[in-house]
């Protein structure tokens, strides 16, 4: 029997009119990933940069959400072609790369996502979960179109170079990270500072002009609704750690009273 993938590339989903709502997975646990998948998010981001994830914990989380109609996105720890190759092989088709600061870096990432002659991704489809361990005999010829590359703009340098980054063919979407961006602009811990807001708006306008989808991390439901109204195509509404901490603290305060 020939394996036939039923998924569409996330870049195609981003082209729809409906904004795609997701959340960060930072607990590095398949059980919580499955719980969050039941909530109905369009995508979940599995974080290899700021979370205690290993390749095995990422694999377990990808397996835990595989039955759900959502896109599992993986953020690699850094601009590392080896990590990108490993994440793609284990079945993540959409990769978010942090701290992309110029077009040369973006071009290198595009090539890292693709097999030759369009890139230099290593070939190992017979042992790759992404290729159904060799059952998808067409995978090598489909993969370059199936993958989605999202680059993260989160520094003053990246903001300065965003026009040339957005123009790189093969960069499918750009994601604005207000937390690191606020620090880079001199407003550490103030992602809602007016100057940071201006920077985010500028980034959005440049991404729009390039004809590519823009994503952003929001800090509250109100902020998320604002970002959607502004036209961001994919929006994170928080993290699993944040939701657990906020709800647990709120329930404790309801029972015990304010500290």
Report all structural domains of the chain as residue ranges with CATH numbers, in order of start.
10-256 (3.20.20.60)
pLDDT, position 3: 44
* Given the residues 50, 93, 141, 202, the one annotated as active site: 50
Q: Tokens for 161, please give them.
A: 């170079």
- How does DSSP assign the chain, residue by residue? ---------HHHHTTSSSPEEEEEE-S--HHHHHHHHTTT-SEEEEESSSS---HHHHHHHHHHTTTSSSEEEEE-SSS-HHHHHHHHHTT--EEEES---SHHHHHHHHHHTS-TTS--PPP-GGG-GGGGGGT-TTHHHHHHHH-EEEEEE-SHHHHHTHHHHHTSTT--EEEE-HHHHHHHTT-TT-TT-HHHHHHHHHHHHHHHHTT--EEEE-SSHHHHHHHHHHT-SEEEEEEHHHHHHHHHHHHHHHHH---
- Per-10-residue mean pLDDT of the chain, 259 residues long, equals 59 93 98 98 97 97 96 97 97 97 98 97 94 93 95 98 98 97 97 96 98 96 96 97 96 90
pTM metric for this prediction: 0.95
pLDDT value of position 2 = 43
Confirm whether 50 is a catalytic residue: yes
pLDDT of residue 206: 98
Q: Identify the pLDDT of residue 88.
A: 97
Q: Give helix 103-112 / helix 81-89 axis angle, nearest 10°.
A: 40
């Amino acid at each position: 029997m020939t394996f036939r993938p039923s998924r569409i590339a996330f870049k195609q989903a981003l082209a729809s009119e409906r904004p795609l709502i997701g959340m960060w997975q930072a607990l590095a646990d398949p059980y919580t990933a499955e719980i969050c998948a039941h909530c109905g998010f369009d995508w979940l981001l599995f974080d290899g940069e700021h979370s205690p994830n290993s390749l095995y914990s990422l694999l377990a989380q990808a397996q835990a959400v595989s039955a759900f109609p959502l896109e599992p996105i993986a953020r690699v720890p850094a601009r590392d072609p080896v990590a990108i190759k490993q994440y793609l092989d284990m079945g993540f088709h959409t990769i978010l790369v942090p701290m992309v600061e110029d077009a040369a870096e973006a071009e290198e990432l595009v090539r890292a996502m693709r097999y030759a002659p369009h890139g230099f991704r290593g070939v190992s489809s017979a042992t790759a979960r992404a290729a159904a361990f060799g059952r998808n005999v067409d995978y090598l010829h489909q993969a370059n179109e199936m993958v989605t590359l999202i680059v993260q703009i989160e520094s003053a340098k990246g903001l300065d170079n965003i026009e040339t980054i957005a123009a790189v063919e093969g960069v499918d979407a750009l994601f604005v990270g207000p937390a690191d961006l606020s620090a880079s602009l001199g407003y550490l811990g103030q992602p809602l500072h007016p100057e940071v807001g201006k920077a985010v708006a500028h980034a959005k306008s440049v991404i729009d002009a390039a004809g590519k989808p823009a994503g952003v991390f929001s800090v509250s439901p109100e902020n998320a609704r604002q970002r959607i109204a502004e036209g961001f195509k994919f929006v994170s509404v928080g993290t699993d750690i944040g939701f657990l901490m906020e709800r647990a603290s709120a329930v404790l305060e309801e029972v015990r009273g304010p500290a």
